[in-house]
Amino acid sequence: MKKVGIEAISLYTPRYYLDLKTLAAARGTDAEKYYNGLGQERMAVAPPDEDIVTMSANAVKVALEGIDYREIDTLMLATESGIDQSKAAAIYVHSLVGLPSTCKAFELKQACCSSTAGILSALALVQMNPRKKVVLVASDIARYGLGTPGEPTAGAGAVALVISADPKLVAFDPENGSYTADVMDFWRPNYMDQAMVDGKYSIRVYLKALSESWNEYVKASGREFNDHYRYCYHMPFTRMAEKGHLHLAKYSAPEGISKDMLKDQIYSAQRYNRLTGNLYTGSLYEALTSLLESRDKLDDRRVGMFSYGSGCMGIFFSGVVQKGYRNYLKTDAHRQMLEARIDLPYGDYEDMYKAVLPQDGSDAQTMHYETGLYRLAGISGHKRIYETVGSIADRHNEKTSVDQQQIPREKASQQGRR
């Protein structure tokens, strides 16, 4: 069987974040609960002129640097923050990035796990025709009610992966194990723009899906716990990865694991997620990006990966990091993007949160905020209007501050998002 896997990977997250110390002060909560109890420091906040399309287009554009667009057979967009019941968000991304008309484009859904379902389909597609490449982009705005327990686990961002028979970063193993069950741990009805969640129950279901899919993976592959050098988990909050890893180790590592081993095996994958919050479909692949871009020496090392989507579906799978992978990473661009972000005061966060597009079909223009290369300009005649606004490098080099932004609170609720 031909080697297939990830040729390129790129992360995009909005220019704004809320420090969870700021949120803790506003909610009268001990910040340690967020920083240590949940393992989150910052959560990315999408301004009203960013959505899953603009975030995806930014991630895809960078992932495709140096790749011939004519080789791209398919663009898949995984999301649970859909913007239309019929038209795929992937079509807008296809157009913004300038992919050829021969490239297919569609959207995928099964909560946070649809990205992995897309990758498995992409692997089959590339196996069938190794000259073809697939771009899978996972993009979401994780959104819970203000003041709810889920709020500190919000976040936003997109991860784009180029899947090909030239896997410069990670070659996937052919085996995987999966688990599907009809449960109501987390969902979002069409009439809501915030998730409904049974938080404690969702953690129990996550852990069950992990052990069940791990068992199937072990049966299929014959591999054991110690056959994986590092582990990456779907991370709604980074402590969830610790809970998951300890759960897995409890019955699959006979000698157990020490605190140091726990840290070694998952810490490097947690760093970026701590700084952006939950990316839903992109969360596992943000963890993989964080691991690959860490100081760990990963050449020829196997990584175990667990993808979880509420509702629910879990998939355990693995891949081997390729020799020389460091030469193909976008580490500097990612660090620069994370460092250049704007720390929001609480009031501005709440204004952005409350700024939703009109729900009655009327036209609206969005205010200009700091974005990447693309922005949502508004809605006209029930159609979403996107525009290209400048080079990402230029924008990341700009020095901006919230004071310079002057986000007008009283007007924000009339401006759009989603």
50 an active-site residue? no
Q: Is 4 in the site for ligand CAA (CB under 6 A)?
A: no
User: How many residues touch ligand CAA (CB under 6 A)?
Assistant: 26
- Rounded to an integer, what distance in angstroms lies between the CA atom of residue 138 and that of residue 120? 14
Position of tokens 């580490």?
Answer: 331
Q: Which stretch binds ligand CAA (CB under 6 A): 47-55, 122-130, 195-203, 382-390?
A: 195-203
Through-space distance between the first and last CA atoms of the chain, rounded to whole angstroms: 43
Closest residue to ligand CAA using C-beta atoms = 37
Q: Tell whether residue 308 is a contact of ligand CAA (CB under 6 A).
A: yes
- 14, 150, 177, 277: which one binds ligand CAA (CB under 6 A): 150
Q: Which residues pair with 164 in a beta bridge?
A: 5
Answer yes or no whether residue 112 interacts with ligand CAA by CB under 6 A.
yes
267 interacts with ligand CAA by CB under 6 A: no
Residue closer to ligand CAA, measured from CB, 29 or 127: 29
What's the angle, vertex CA 298, arms to CA 293 and CA 302, rounded to 5? 120
What kind and span of H or E run contains 137?
A: strand 133-142
Angle made by CA atoms 244, 328, 10, in degrees to the nearest 5: 55
Question: Residue 388 has which token pair?
Answer: 């290209």
By the rule CB under 6 A, 304 interacts with ligand CAA: no
Q: How far is the CB of 264 from ligand CAA (least distance, A)?
A: 20
Binding ligand CAA (rule: CB under 6 A), the pick from 2, 131, 200, 259 is: 200
**Which residues, in sequence order, are CB contacts of 273 under 8 Å at separation 6+?**
235, 237, 238, 279, 283, 286, 287, 290
Among all chains, which residue has been given the structure tokens 């809605």?
379
Exactly one of 7, 41, 50, 80 is catalytic; name it. 80
Q: Torsion angle of alpha carbons 39, 42, 47, 51, nearest 10°?
A: -30
**Residue 203 touches ligand CAA, criterion: CB under 6 A:** yes
CA–CA gap between residue 127 and residue 319 (Å, rounded): 16
- Shortest distance, position 190 Cβ to ligand CAA, whole Å: 18
**Shortest Å distance, C-beta 310 to ligand CAA:** 4
Using the rule CB under 6 A, which residue among 40, 270, 278, 415 binds ligand CAA? Answer: 278
Among 25, 36, 335, 404, binds ligand CAA (CB under 6 A): 36
Q: Which is nearer to ligand CAA, 105 or 158 (CB)?
A: 158
Encoded tokens for 242 = 């610790």
Q: What is the dihedral of CA 245, 248, 251, 253, to 10 degrees?
A: -60
**By the rule CB under 6 A, 208 interacts with ligand CAA:** no
80 is known as an active-site residue: yes
User: For ligand CAA, which stretch binds (CB under 6 A), given 69-77, 147-155, 284-292, 377-385?
Assistant: 147-155
Taking CB atoms within 8 Å and a gap of at least 24, the contacts of 238-245 are 238/38, 238/39, 238/40, 238/270, 238/273, 238/274, 239/37, 239/38, 239/39, 240/39, 240/203, 240/206, 241/266, 241/269, 241/270, 241/287, 242/39, 242/266, 243/203, 243/207, 244/206, 244/207, 244/210, 244/306
Residue from the set 56, 116, 153, 176 that interacts with ligand CAA by CB under 6 A: 153
Q: Which of 319, 315, 304, 334 is nearest to 118 (CA)?
A: 315
The yes or no reply on residue 23 touching ligand CAA (CB under 6 A) is no
Kind of pairing between the strands at 42-45 and 16-19:
antiparallel
* 234 catalytically annotated: yes
Question: Can you list the alpha helix ranges (DSSP code H) found in 317-378?
Answer: 331-339, 346-354
Distance in Å, CB of 203 to ligand CAA, minimum: 5
Q: Is 206 in the site for ligand CAA (CB under 6 A)?
A: yes
Quick check: 281 binds ligand CAA (CB under 6 A)? no
Q: How far is the CB of 3 from ligand CAA (least distance, A)?
A: 30
Measured from the CB of residue 290, what is the shortest distance to ligand CAA in angstroms?
Answer: 16
Task: Point out the residues that are catalytic.
Answer: 80, 112, 234
- The residue ranges that bind ligand CAA (CB under 6 A) are 30, 32-33, 36-38, 112, 149-150, 153, 185-186, 197, 199-200, 202-203, 206, 234, 236-237, 240, 278, 280, 308, 310
